[in-house]
Chains A and B, each alone.
Chain A
């Protein structure tokens, strides 16, 4: 009951603050840019104009799968930044402004409150990423070459799981501390560390949520089975559940800033 009420309010807020417009647009742009830039790279270099005369550049045309994997790389940096920045104050903002005092003095359920925030965030992430990835896929097929559909879908789903994890982390940090900069710093830092750690220490982080982006890239590029995919997915879902529970607990503990 209350979940629906909170969820409706979150959706309305995201609509009125144009989050439903600009986040999907940024994701679409990020996705579409990669294949287009790759396709026109020789022309762009040629028109740059400051090349020594007689120099020839030969760029091996990349495969469609490679371009799609590069797109995911874009999402790992700029996309993640956008997500964290747009969700960092989702809980702390209400606490800081004081609205939460009025909300929590009413007989509301902390679980519904948190769940509505979580669900609305996940739906925005899902729609934005799906739109961007679909755009990237379409342009890749049009301009570069075909991509194995099964691999692309699987890679996309695993990457989406990674974004969900990053969102849940941001939500938890937002319930834990108040300063927006701190939330963004810790969430981004933790996400980057996790994904870098799986590059450096692949043996110890085979199932870490941070290895999900790599698993998606591997899936696209070498059509074989990626190692530890199922384990990473399960562990990521478990982590999300833990973060979610922690968020509810923090929301209940810190109802207002006094």
Chain B
């Protein structure tokens, strides 16, 4: 299952003078789940819109490979959920799904079957009879997922699917995605790292319209994670001074100190933590907490974004 499904080469988008997406290339393997990560304004939505066929690229190519050969029109094979899905408020949820299914090319009987099934799956069985005008944000998001999936697409493209939801809505949508990704290849954009870590296996970080980092989540973790010690000391003058001085020890390669806390990137966690504790005892400094571990994806993200 490592055949590429989506292949993007040199994708570029210019709006007048401004180049928003600067020739990005990547591919998404069949059966994988890829996250397009980046800060706000990095060009995520623009990229997604081009993939969904809503925006004409200024340059480059997008190919969807079905059974190994590129298809001329990729719309029948993709399902797309925009950032804030908007529906016809005067339709009921059920009517909209039927409409979406038939637009996607299903026969009316198939559409009715799929509608019933998806309404059940996204937990809108009862709400399906009501007008969409009265739906909450989470319900709209779930209905949006159902309309994107109703024709069983090969690739599901989602733009910030959970960013605007409250915690319980987030959990609902994420667990739905967990289930969907067993059957469908998923590509979604987000600026929330935690969501990406939870369901994805491929990461594409983009910054100012360029790919800053790409690869599988495991690989990125292995390659870029560094041993880190997080240290917190008491608030008195002596402890603060000690904490500031610790940053210049030779086993510390990078130190960030703020208030009574420090994040130290070290060469060897075990040696460093022993040395730190001994040093603290010698200076009669009270350590409130000491945590030895690896840098998280978030640290990496911040590093990529800020560099």
Complexed CA–CA distance, A17 and B88 (Å):
11
**Residue from B45, B80, B88 within 8 A of A105 (CB atoms):** B80
A-B interface pairs (CB < 8 A), number:
68
Is there contact, CB below 8 Å, between A5 and B103? yes
Q: Which residue of B lies closest to A105 (CB)?
A: B80
Interfacial chain A residues near B53, Cβ < 8 Å:
104-105, 255
- Asked if A245 is an interface residue, CB under 8 A from chain B, the answer is no
Contact flags (1/0) for A79-119 with B, using CB distance below 8 Å? Answer: 00000000000000000011101111111100000000000
Is there contact, CB below 8 Å, between B147 and A102? yes
- Asked if A148 is an interface residue, CB under 8 A from chain B, the answer is no
**Residue from B55, B86, B102 within 8 A of A98 (CB atoms):** B86
Contact flags (1/0) for B68-87 with A, using CB distance below 8 Å? Answer: 00000101101111101111
Interfacial chain A residues near B49, Cβ < 8 Å:
101, 256, 258
Q: A256-B49, A258-B45, A258-B49 are contacts. A104–B86 as well, Cβ < 8 Å?
A: no
Complexed CA–CA distance, A203 and B76 (Å):
54
Complexed CA–CA distance, A104 and B86 (Å):
13
Complexed CA–CA distance, A5 and B54 (Å):
21
Is there contact, CB below 8 Å, between B90 and A102? no
Interfacial chain B residues near A98, Cβ < 8 Å:
82, 84-86
Interfacial chain B residues near A106, Cβ < 8 Å:
75, 100, 103-104, 151
Interfacial chain B residues near A107, Cβ < 8 Å:
73, 75-76, 103-105
Q: Which of A108, A255, A258 has the most CB of B within 10 A?
A: A258
Q: A105-B54, A105-B78, A107-B75 are contacts. A99–B86 as well, Cβ < 8 Å?
A: yes
How many chain A residues sit at the interface, stated as a range, is: 20 to 34
| CB interface residues, B 93-151, toward A, < 8 Å | 99-100, 102-105, 144, 147-148, 151
Is there contact, CB below 8 Å, between A105 and B90? no
Is there contact, CB below 8 Å, between A103 and B103? yes
Interfacial chain A residues near B103, Cβ < 8 Å:
2, 5, 103, 106-108
Contact flags (1/0) for A1-23 with B, using CB distance below 8 Å? Answer: 01001000100110011000000
Interfacial chain B residues near A255, Cβ < 8 Å:
53-55
- Asked if B211 is an interface residue, CB under 8 A from chain A, the answer is no
Complexed CA–CA distance, A106 and B147 (Å):
10
Is there contact, CB below 8 Å, between B90 and A16? yes
Is there contact, CB below 8 Å, between A102 and B73? no
Complexed CA–CA distance, A255 and B50 (Å):
11
CB proximity of B118 to chain A, nearest CB, Å: 15
CB proximity of B79 to chain A, nearest CB, Å: 8
Is there contact, CB below 8 Å, between A258 and B55? yes
Complexed CA–CA distance, A153 and B151 (Å):
50
Is there contact, CB below 8 Å, between A256 and B88? no
| CB interface residues, B 37-54, toward A, < 8 Å | 45-46, 49, 52-54
Interfacial chain A residues near B75, Cβ < 8 Å:
105-108
Is there contact, CB below 8 Å, between A102 and B80? yes
Interfacial chain B residues near A99, Cβ < 8 Å:
86-88
Q: Which of A98, A104, A107, A256 has the most CB of B within 10 A?
A: A107
Is there contact, CB below 8 Å, between B55 and A102? no
Q: A13-B90, A106-B75, A107-B73 are contacts. A101–B99 as well, Cβ < 8 Å?
A: no
CB proximity of A204 to chain B, nearest CB, Å: 39
Q: A102-B85, A102-B147, A105-B53 are contacts. A9–B76 as well, Cβ < 8 Å?
A: no
Complexed CA–CA distance, A5 and B108 (Å):
10
Q: Which residue of A lies closest to B159 (CB)?
A: A101
Interfacial chain A residues near B46, Cβ < 8 Å:
258
Is there contact, CB below 8 Å, between A102 and B84? no
CB proximity of B16 to chain A, nearest CB, Å: 14
Complexed CA–CA distance, A116 and B176 (Å):
35
Q: Which of B52, B54, B105 has the most CB of A within 10 A?
A: B54
A102-B82, A105-B54 known; 10 other A-B pairs, CB under 8 Å?
Answer: A13-B88, A98-B84, A101-B80, A104-B54, A105-B78, A108-B103, A256-B54, A256-B55, A258-B46, A258-B54
5 contacts between A and B (CB under 8 A): A13-B88, A102-B85, A105-B54, A106-B151, A107-B104
Binding site for A on B (CB under 8 A): 45-46, 49, 52-55, 73, 75-76, 78-82, 84-88, 90-91, 99-100, 102-105, 144, 147-148, 151
List the 7 closest pairs (A to B, CB-CB), nearest first: A105-B80, A98-B86, A107-B75, A101-B82, A16-B90, A107-B76, A105-B52
